[in-house]
Structure 1
């Protein structure tokens, strides 16, 4: 069984790889391993050693602590009576979706003015859906 921390690190690894538009094969080749190993890291089946985590961080152009960001919510036991932080869980899930990453890439390929207009449109649509509910 995968440990919650291993799962978290794997999700962060997958998110960053996808954000950069890399395949598992490309990432694996960049650090000298097979893509199956990347698959196992991403699903939490295999733990990532410290040296391999460093290699991955360099290949993905992130600090090593990137893989542990948000871990407090994952590893901390729930306090009875404390409200769950659903917003953080939903945000993490949304950011891991392929569609979200494609949207972010497309957004940043736009010029500044079209980006601003797209953001204004999204906000207006959000306001409309909130008013309708």
Structure 2
């Protein structure tokens, strides 16, 4: 089986990320663009390339601009491709030299997306802010390798 092109994989990850953030099923997204959920799965895995007209349909169904699917793309996504030689170093999508390893990116994990959705369901802004500060302080303390201090 041929390996997915890094750009197709990135577009699929962004599609899944947005769909999950909206709480939309693959079936619902498929219905919105005239596809089966299996076809949506293939696009999300990067197994199928998304044509421009289909990408436009996905952008409308997911309420994002087409450019959303290319945001945060690593600069080395096209390395080894004929076109890559024509691109100046530092130009292109994403940060140059960023490894293209979607498994390591915490922003595409289902847990992260569900956490964000849950966070924004909290209507009280003061409660939301306190939760933000709590999680931030716990993360900072954990990252520094020391226990969280009480105030």
TM-score computed with the length of structure 2 as normaliser: 0.75
Which ranges of 4 or more aligned residues in structure 1 deviate by more than 4 Å?
none
CA RMSD of aligned residues (A): 2.6
* Count of matched residue pairs: 129
TM-score computed with the length of structure 1 as normaliser: 0.84
2:48 matched to which residue of 1? 46
2:34 matched to which residue of 1? 32
CA offsets 1:78-125 (integer angstroms, 9 cap, x no match): 98xxx9546x968x7211111111110111111100011111111221
* Offset at residue 9 of structure 1 (A): 0.6
Distance in 2, Cα, partners of 1:38 & 1:115: 33
2:107 matched to which residue of 1? 95
1:125 matched to which residue of 2? 138
Structure 2 stretches of 5 or more lacking a match? 81-88, 90-95
* Offset at residue 127 of structure 1 (A): 3.3
Higher helix share: 1
Within-5 A mapping of 1:1-133: 1=2, 2-77=4-79, 84-85=97-98, 93-110=105-122, 111-129=124-142, 130-132=144-146
Distance in 1, Cα, partners of 2:128 & 2:18: 22
* 8 Å CA contact 1:5, 1:74 repeated in 2: no
**Which structure exhibits the higher relative contact order, with contacts defined as CA atoms closer than 8 Å and separated by 6 or more residues?**
1
